[in-house]
Amino acid sequence: MASIARATMAGIDESDTIRESLHQAARKAGSGLSSEEARRISTTIEKFLGLRFGRSSDPAQFILWREEQGYRRRPLEELRKQWFLDDAYRTYLDKPLDAGASWDDVFAEMMLGQDAFEKGRTRPSGVGVGPDDLRIVVRTATRADPGRAAVDGALGDVLSYGGPLMISHSWWRPGVSYDELMAQYGKVKTATVGFVIDFVDGKRRPAKLMMYQDPKTGGWWIDGYCHGNYEKADMSSARWEY
State the pLDDT at residue 142: 96
The Cα–Cα gap between 186 and 100 comes to: 42
Q: Which amino acid is at 132?
A: D
Residue 1 banded pLDDT, cuts 50, 70, 90: very low
Are the CB atoms for 170 and 240 separated by under 8 Å? no
State the pLDDT at residue 236: 55
Would you say residue 29 lies in a domain? yes
Would you say residue 58 lies in a domain? no
Would you say residue 216 lies in a domain? yes
Would you say residue 109 lies in a domain? no
Most confident of 25-39, 91-105, 198-212: 91-105
Q: Name the CA dihedral angle for 177, 179, 181, 187, rounded to a multiple of 10 degrees.
A: 140
Task: Print the domain residue range for 202.
Answer: 2-51+124-237
Would you say residue 106 lies in a domain? no
Are the CB atoms for 23 and 39 separated by under 8 Å? yes
State the pLDDT at residue 31: 67
- Residue-wise DSSP of 162-219: SSPPEEPB-SEE-SS-HHHHHHHHSEEEEEEEEEEEEETTS-EEEEEEEEEE-TTT--
Rg of the chain over Cα atoms, rounded to whole angstroms, equals 18
Is 7 strand, coil or helix? coil
User: pTM for this one?
Assistant: 0.91
- The least confident of 28-37, 90-99, 157-166, 181-190 is 157-166
Would you say residue 110 lies in a domain? no
Residue 100 banded pLDDT, cuts 50, 70, 90: very high
User: What is the average pLDDT across 101-109?
Assistant: 97
More confident residue, 233 or 95: 95
User: What is the average pLDDT across 113-118?
Assistant: 82
pLDDT digits (tens, 9 = 90+) for 129-156: 888 888 899 999 999 999 888 887 767 7
State the pLDDT at residue 207: 86
Are the CB atoms for 62 and 51 separated by under 8 Å? yes
Would you say residue 63 lies in a domain? no
Domain count, the chain: 1
Provide the mean pLDDT of the chain: 86
Residue 230 has pLDDT above 70, yes or no: no
Residue 2 banded pLDDT, cuts 50, 70, 90: very low
Would you say residue 22 lies in a domain? yes
Residue 29 has pLDDT above 70, yes or no: no
